[in-house]
Amino acid sequence: MAPVPPPQLSARKSPRQARATATLEAIFEATIQVLLTDGPTRLTTTRVSARAGVSVGTMYQYYPHKQALLYAVTERYLNTVAETVERTCLQNHGAPLAQMSDTLVKAYWDAKTMQRNATRALYLVALEVNTSDLAEACMQRIEAATAAMFDSAPDAKFADLALVNLTFLTVLFGTVRSLFTRKMTEESERRVGDELSVMCLRYLEASKIA
Amino acid sequence: MAPVPPPQLSARKSPRQARATATLEAIFEATIQVLLTDGPTRLTTTRVSARAGVSVGTMYQYYPHKQALLYAVTERYLNTVAETVERTCLQNHGAPLAQMSDTLVKAYWDAKTMQRNATRALYLVALEVNTSDLAEACMQRIEAATAAMFDSAPDAKFADLALVNLTFLTVLFGTVRSLFTRKMTEESERRVGDELSVMCLRYLEASKIA
Amino acid sequence: MAPVPPPQLSARKSPRQARATATLEAIFEATIQVLLTDGPTRLTTTRVSARAGVSVGTMYQYYPHKQALLYAVTERYLNTVAETVERTCLQNHGAPLAQMSDTLVKAYWDAKTMQRNATRALYLVALEVNTSDLAEACMQRIEAATAAMFDSAPDAKFADLALVNLTFLTVLFGTVRSLFTRKMTEESERRVGDELSVMCLRYLEASKIA
Amino acid sequence: MAPVPPPQLSARKSPRQARATATLEAIFEATIQVLLTDGPTRLTTTRVSARAGVSVGTMYQYYPHKQALLYAVTERYLNTVAETVERTCLQNHGAPLAQMSDTLVKAYWDAKTMQRNATRALYLVALEVNTSDLAEACMQRIEAATAAMFDSAPDAKFADLALVNLTFLTVLFGTVRSLFTRKMTEESERRVGDELSVMCLRYLEASKIA
DNA sequence: TATGAATGAGTTTTCATTCAT
DNA sequence: TATGAATGAAAACTCATTCAT
């Protein structure tokens, strides 16, 4: 399910000693930090390695170039996202439809709220490296998890589960992103969020088989 | 309503002669072209001016730096978008709610379909220049236009028009973008689009005052 | 006759203004100088441009990369060599065979003596850039020139002029290079040179038709 | 006679155990291999040690730096060359002059033919390390061997054996190298080679004391 | 003694910006 | 006013060498 990274974007080697693992971890962390504090156009290899407390050379021991590093960081981030959603879905297996919808919207909303900057940062990374295969893989994991959850709802059956599921997710993800992109008062944000919740649930309800 | 560009992003001088206007036009066009064919990382001042058929020096007569150029190009693009929406809204003044909703969704969808690349291109520009004030101004014009339209619907009154309008737009814009970002079959795209149409209208209907 | 440089080794643009021509000239000169004084492994773009009194950027306006520069320098040098030989040959058209042989050996010897370092420098360049097509083109011009000259000798006809000519040149060039590569006393060098002269002439004489 | 390597180019330690000898051997072999397959600009210490199957650290146990390694490899190669010539000369002790000349030319020619790449590789090494003392020592061994051989010819005495010998070798080595440097048809190469053979012998004959 | 992770000076190359013509 | 040659700071990346384990 996890996509095999294209060869030019692959890491050069994996750490064998504990020291190396720590180094790699520091590099990852530093990349995110720089992305958040300095922005994607200021993300230079020198800056990242400086922040990580290692030399540039060390970075290049693990990644053949900047792109490969960014690819790896994105991969790790998206994995976390997918795992979060999968966990949430499992926890709501067999729950009533309304609870499923609300939980998902809330979970996604909260995740994004907490990682607003990280999300934005990673999106910008996509400019320099083509991470669409990673994003697609992540989406498919999420789709599978939510589909399985919806399918387990005791109070709802759908004529076309796949379509309903896909629409639900597309609207949810798109709207949340849209909301966060704009500068809006917290108040407005919250109120639109509530409306979204209602809208999503209403959509699900209306799609049920009589 | 149109945002006054921050001084450091302002153009150096306004064209006074026909020749100058033509030059500016060529520079604009070239910027978009380069963005589309070469991508945002290849957008250099030399490339743009070459494509525009003028010398770099000339370009710097009009814009003090690259950012000012990109800002101006974005501004012009967003103006076009806002104008299109405004026109559509005026044309549907006093129409039934269902027609308003469908027309808006369809208009936005079509606009995006036709300019998929241009939209993406401009989004990438946002990396290098902060155009959020422009985007915000554009959004406010659109909000005003759609609010006025919805307010003129003979078959619907809303308790909180502003909130309903904002939600409607946020969902519409976000979802469409989400849809276009993912690689999806045309079939899926169309079907989710149809679902979105239904969902939006249903939301408006449900928000009406008894 | 002059080889068309492979596209990736071509110059970026030719100078249009007098200033630009002077700049290019300085870059050429500096390249040779650095090669001679610092050696080929110390030939860096920074060093060359510094020595030329221009900035690195300027160098890159004319050549897309170091290799292209080196290729151009080699080309120019080899052209000079070929021209020198061609001139010498024309001047000895119709002369007696002995004079031809002696003049050629002496001319080549002198040329090398004067440019000992330059020659060595350029040979080393061949490591980083493939200049064999240039060398081959140069050799062919030389071969043509000497063949024409030998053919005009009033006192000698050859059964296989091409072979004799080729052998003569191969021995001459190889031996001179060999001589200059070794550290030898000037005395030894001169004496071996004289022997070479004799040897070459004797070879030509022995190859004549009855 | 063998040159004492300048201290900064000396190996760090001599192998005392069989294992160490094997390691050294592997490093030598790897150096040549990398030189031949990857070219001199790709000859890095990491590459060599990887190919040799040892770690960089180990390599630095034996050679204080890259130059020392290259120096040692060159030394070994030139020793082989010198030994080959010495053996050939001993085998032709007391033979007729014509046989001596032909054997030498043929032996050298064959050696070079077989090791075309190795020879070229080693020449390139000379760029980074000054191996002229090694080359000189090798030449002197060769000179001594051939001089002794020529001196033993029953059918020839020379007024100035040293000069004749030096000229003979310089012409032979230079011409062969020249021949191999140019791209030439095998046919041409062979024919010029034959001419060279004749030319050399004729030179020796002409230099004999009546 | 062997390992290989880490170092960082040094190299090539780019590109926004200036300014003499 | 327009031109385009020149600038040079800054970026990505390499590789000989060291040293803790």
Q: Which of the pair, C36 or B18, is modelled with greater confidence?
A: C36
- Judge if D51 and D110 occupy the same domain: no
* Six-digit token string for D139: 């030449």
* Six-digit token string for C158: 């050859």
A127/B124 touch (CB, cutoff 8 Å), yes or no? yes
Q: Per mean pLDDT, which range of B7-21, B173-187, C87-101 is the poorest?
A: B7-21
For C42, the closest chain D residue by CA position comes to D128
- Judge if D101 and D54 occupy the same domain: no
- Judge if D129 and D189 occupy the same domain: yes
Distance from CA of A30 to the nearest CA of B (A): 20
Per-residue pLDDT reduced to its tens digit, C161-193: 999 999 999 999 999 989 988 888 999 999 999
Task: With respect to residue B112, please indicate whether it lies within any of the assigned structural domains.
Answer: yes
Neighbouring CB atoms inside 10 A of C61's CB total 16
Per-residue pLDDT reduced to its tens digit, C63-115: 999 999 999 999 998 998 899 999 999 999 999 999 999 999 999 988 888 77
Task: With respect to residue A71, please indicate whether it lies within any of the assigned structural domains.
Answer: yes
User: For D155, which DSSP code?
Assistant: T
* Six-digit token string for B12: 């150096």
Q: Which chains touch C (3 or more CB pairs under 8 A)?
A: D
* Six-digit token string for D163: 């000069």
Asked if residues B67 and B10 have their Cβ atoms less than 8 Å apart, the reply is no
Alpha-carbon separation of residue A159 from A165, A206, B189 (angstroms) = 11, 11, 18
Nucleotides of E under 7 A from a protein CB: 1-21
Per-residue pLDDT reduced to its tens digit, A121-174: 787 788 788 898 999 999 999 999 999 999 999 999 999 999 999 999 999 999
Per-residue pLDDT reduced to its tens digit, A13-58: 777 777 888 999 999 999 999 998 888 889 999 999 999 999 999 9
Report the first-to-last Cα separation within chain D, whole angstroms. 35
Residues of D with CB below 8 A from C40's CB? 127
pLDDT band for position D52 (cuts 50, 70, 90) = very high
- Judge if D40 and D93 occupy the same domain: no
CA distance B178 to C23: 53
Task: With respect to residue D7, please indicate whether it lies within any of the assigned structural domains.
Answer: no
> What amino acid occupies position D175?
T
For helices D161-181 and D132-151, give the axis angle rounded to 10 degrees: 120
Task: With respect to residue A1, please indicate whether it lies within any of the assigned structural domains.
Answer: no
Dihedral of alpha carbons D152, D106, D183, C145, sign: positive
pLDDT at position D114: 76
Domain holding D79, by residue range, is 75-207
Q: Check if A26 contacts B (Cβ < 8 Å).
A: no
Residues of B with CB below 8 A from A41's CB? 127-128
pLDDT at position B181: 83
CA distance B181 to B189: 11
Q: Residue for token digits 């062969």?
A: D176
D195/C136 touch (CB, cutoff 8 Å), yes or no? no
- Judge if D125 and D27 occupy the same domain: no
Q: What percent of chain D has pLDDT over 70?
A: 96
Asked if the Cβ of residue C22 lies within 7 A of any atom of strand F, the reply is: yes
CA to C1' distance (Å), from D53 to E4: 13
- Judge if D133 and D49 occupy the same domain: no
User: What is the pLDDT averaged over residues B65-83?
Assistant: 93
- The answer to whether chain A touches chain C by having 3 or more C-beta pairs less than 8 angstroms apart is no
Per-residue pLDDT reduced to its tens digit, A86-97: 999 999 999 999
pLDDT at position B21: 85
- The CATH number assigned to the domain holding A161 equals 1.10.357.10
- Look at residue B13 and tell me whether its pLDDT is greater than 80: no
Residues of B with CB below 8 A from A40's CB? 127
pLDDT at position B161: 97
Task: With respect to residue C104, please indicate whether it lies within any of the assigned structural domains.
Answer: yes
- Judge if D49 and D138 occupy the same domain: no
Task: With respect to residue B127, please indicate whether it lies within any of the assigned structural domains.
Answer: yes
- Look at residue C199 and tell me whether its pLDDT is greater than 90: yes
pLDDT at position B73: 93
B166/A173 touch (CB, cutoff 8 Å), yes or no? no
pLDDT band for position C124 (cuts 50, 70, 90) = confident
- Look at residue B210 and tell me whether its pLDDT is greater than 60: yes
Residues 25-44 of A with CB under 7 A from strand F: 42-44
- Judge if D174 and D135 occupy the same domain: yes
B positions 108-147 inside 8 Å of A (CB): 124, 127-128, 132, 135-136, 139
pLDDT band for position D119 (cuts 50, 70, 90) = confident
Q: Check if D206 contacts C (Cβ < 8 Å).
A: yes
Task: With respect to residue A2, please indicate whether it lies within any of the assigned structural domains.
Answer: no
pLDDT at position A54: 96
Task: With respect to residue C2, please indicate whether it lies within any of the assigned structural domains.
Answer: no
Q: Which residues does residue B158 pair with via DSSP β-bridges, in sequence order? A: B208
Q: Is A119 strand, coil or helix?
A: helix
pLDDT at position B14: 66
CA to C1' distance (Å), from B46 to F1: 19
Number of domains chain B is built from = 1
Can you tell me which residue has its alpha carbon closest to the C1' of nucleotide E15?
Answer: B44
pLDDT at position C126: 84
pLDDT band for position A181 (cuts 50, 70, 90) = confident
CA distance B153 to B94: 5
pLDDT at position A11: 83
Per-residue pLDDT reduced to its tens digit, D157-170: 999 999 999 999 99
* Six-digit token string for A63: 């990644």
